[in-house]
Structure 1
Amino acid sequence: MPRDTLTRDRIVRTAVELLDAEGLEGLNMRALGKRLDSAATAMYWHVKSKDNLVLLATDQVWGELALPDPAAAGWRAAVAAMAADLYGMFTRHPWLVQAFAAHIVYGEGKARHDDHHLAVYEAAGFTEAQADQAAAAVFTYVLGNAAGAAAAASHGRRLAREGGKADEQLHEAMAKAQEIAMGYPRLRARLDTPAAADYAAGPGDAFEFGLQALLDGLERRVRERDGAPEPG
């Protein structure tokens, strides 16, 4: 593909596809050029560097997020919807978790989302300082929960590259982890029951439970500040 037929938008969209498939470790200009049928050097005319490309790709997917109106849904429902949407984005694009560990992430899409997130809290009566703290707490909670999905995706890519060897290592590690857990009464009680599979496979329920507990705490702080009685 001649250089003048490339556009930054096309490069960034293709980079997102590559990142979704291969993770942050799989992004390089040669692999990207191959997908675009172009020389790797041609990418630099549009995106300057690999680090800049990661930022552009991050901002591209940040545009997927919705901005619910707290006046229509209520601040708590709006925050819950934004948190669920953010978690969905991280699990669709697990390389984003890697990006936060390796880059200072910024851009128009993220700024748009962050500004609205703060506005939701302020509309509910949070002070600026409280809104900052609440937004940081919810974002950190979502990012921490998404780390498991990112790790699973990374491991899945390694399994695909290494085949049976990595699969054997996984089973061996799981067996050792279970053997250790059986030495602790509460872990053993959860593993040695018919519900053990449910215990290990309920991240969605755990995410919602933790999110609602976090929102309970934020709501209580606002009520205490305003002197309002607890509901019910």
Structure 2
Amino acid sequence: MAAKSNPVPSVWARQQAEPEQPALSRRSIVREAIAMLDADGIEALSMRKLGTRLNAGATSLYRHVATKDELMELAVDEVFGEIAVPAEPAVDWRAGVVEAAEAFRATALRHPWLASVLGQAGLAYLGPNLMAFTKWLAELFATAGFADPSRPAEPLLAYVVGMSTTEAAWLTTVARSGETEAEFVARLLPAAQEASGELLLPADVAAADLAGLREEKFRYGLDVVLDGLSMRL
């Protein structure tokens, strides 16, 4: 007797069952899960808590989403749908890549959990929105003249995801302190300067454009990556 083939462990690889509760849709479940993730992080999300928020039992949720891993796949792809993908690739490939990178960063900062779960969310890359984003990048690099557009996309995404993860974690720490970023840095700065022996930020932190400094840091590293890729052409 032939052995049964193992199903692909992804929400994108199985057919969705007809819902028994018309008011409870997969989209409403995913949007509520994203709201919970944005507010309290990954640790706070469970199928039981999500069911309570939706006035539905966990069993009802499982009719739409089989596991929490599937839920995370769906949440990741839903958030990627917020990144606007132009219908046509940019003529200037560097400008297009910068647009894509900054769009990803902005989305990751709105949803601080996103970047940290990309490598854990099962086969999230099979989702239609995430695939549209990676296809957009591939078209940009093809326009630039790269023979294999996937090769330059890998270091680019490694940089963008890594920097966005670090920045999102920093902003989450600041938010949990109950202070503004300037207040938090001002309180942290003396200890940091004592440890390093250097003036790490302007003395008047309250007047410093900390968001602008973070943006400048991100853009500098992005330019370094793109300069390196340009040399490969």
Q: TM-score range by the shorter chain?
A: 0.7 to 0.9
CA apart distance, 1:10: 0.9
Out of 148-157 and 133-142, give the one that drifted further.
148-157
**Any residues of structure 2 matched to 1:175-194 within 5 Å, and which?**
175-182=190-197, 188-190=198-200
Q: Does 1:112 align with 2:127?
A: no
CA RMSD of aligned residues (A): 2.9
Superposed CA offset, 1:34-76 (max 9, x none): 2212223211111111111000010111111222333x54211
Out of 36-45 and 145-154, give the one that drifted further.
145-154
Which position in structure 1 is the counterpart of 2:106?
Answer: 88
CA distance in 2, matches of 1:79, 1:116: 9
Q: Does 1:146 align with 2:161?
A: no
Change (3 A) 1:116 1:35: same
Amino acid at match of 1:118: A
* Structure 2 runs not aligned, ≥5 long: 1-19
Change (3 A) 1:209 1:197: farther
Amino acid at match of 1:132: S
Amino acid at match of 1:211: L
Which position in structure 1 is the counterpart of 2:3?
Answer: none
Superposed CA offset, 1:85-144 (max 9, x none): 11111111111122125333322211121122112111221111xx22211111111111
CA apart distance, 1:172: 7.8
SS in 1 for 2:79: helix
Which position in structure 2 is the counterpart of 1:102?
Answer: 120
Alpha-carbon contact 1:190-1:196 (below 8 Å) kept: no
Q: Does 1:214 align with 2:217?
A: no
CA distance in 2, matches of 1:124, 1:10: 40
CA distance in 1, matches of 2:190, 2:209: 16
Which position in structure 1 is the counterpart of 2:52?
Answer: 34
Amino acid at match of 1:110: L
Which position in structure 2 is the counterpart of 1:44?
Answer: 62
Greater per-residue helix proportion: 1
Out of 5-14 and 201-210, give the one that drifted further.
201-210
Which position in structure 2 is the counterpart of 1:59?
Answer: 77
Change (3 A) 1:103 1:219: same
Alpha-carbon contact 2:76-2:121 (below 8 Å) kept: no
Amino acid at match of 1:122: A
Q: Does 1:123 align with 2:143?
A: yes
Amino acid at match of 2:133: H
SS in 2 for 1:151: helix
SS in 1 for 2:118: helix
CA distance in 2, matches of 1:87, 1:150: 9
Alpha-carbon contact 2:29-2:61 (below 8 Å) kept: yes
Corresponding residue to 2:173 among 135, 147, 155: 155
Deviating 4+ runs (over 6 angstroms): 169-173
Change (3 A) 1:65 1:199: closer
Change (3 A) 1:41 1:153: farther
Which position in structure 2 is the counterpart of 1:6?
Answer: 24
Change (3 A) 1:66 1:199: closer
Normalised to the residue count of structure 2, the TM-score between the two structures is: 0.76
CA distance in 2, matches of 1:81, 1:120: 11
CA apart distance, 1:4: 4.0
* Structure 1 runs not aligned, ≥5 long: 164-168, 183-187, 223-232
SS in 1 for 2:63: helix
Alpha-carbon contact 1:30-1:40 (below 8 Å) kept: yes
Change (3 A) 1:200 1:81: closer
